[in-house]
Structure 1
Amino acid sequence: MMLQTTVFAAARSRAHGPTVALWHAVELHRPPAEVDGACELTLCGSLARVSTDESWPVAATDVCPACALLSTC
């Protein structure tokens, strides 16, 4: 039996039009060093720049509600 652990990284989206920048969750399938600063697809389907300086979940108020919900499933 193999135990698989899901690892999430925090990623910051850009403010676009009337929306504000939010923190999102990105599921990592590679070592964090390989995605540092890269734009990745988030759990909610948007693109955001991964920040390995921040851990998920981020202790902030500007967190994507969809990513917060999907990362707990």
Structure 2
Amino acid sequence: MTTTLTTTFIAARSRAHGPTSALWHAVEVHRAPSEIDGACELTVCGTLARVVPDQPWPVSTRDVCPTCTVLA
């Protein structure tokens, strides 16, 4: 029996801090979408950001984390 692993990413929005603007980040999901509740999660770049369950990754905007874009 072969097991296929798939990696799923969803989008998360960080908060603006000081001179930095809010960015969209990628969060790797290891649980059912029904368990995603919009709480803060650790993103693939190591930032904490609030998950937006209905926003797929990659997002089609300009304010996207460059590190998450490469890692996801």
TM-score range, shorter chain: over 0.9
> Match for residue 52 of structure 1?
53
Percent identity over the alignment is 66
Q: Which residue of 2 aligns with 1:35?
A: 36
Measured in 2, the distance between the counterparts of 1:13 and 1:65 equals: 13
The answer to whether the aligner puts 1:11 opposite 2:12 as a matched pair is yes
Shift of 1:4: 0.5
The DSSP-based 3-state class of the residue aligned with 2:35 is: helix
- Post-superposition shift, 1:68? 0.5
Kindly provide the amino acid, as one letter, of the partner of residue 52 in structure 2: S
Match of residue 21 from structure 1: 22
> What's the Cα RMSD here?
0.8
Task: Give ranges in structure 2 of 5+ residues lacking alignment.
Answer: none
* In 2: Cα distance, 1:31 partner to 1:14 partner: 25
SS at match of 1:19: coil
Output the TM-score relative to the length of structure 1: 0.92
Q: Deviations over 1:14-73 (max 9, x none)?
A: 0011100000000001112222211000000000000012100000000000000000xx
TM-score with structure 2 setting the length: 0.93
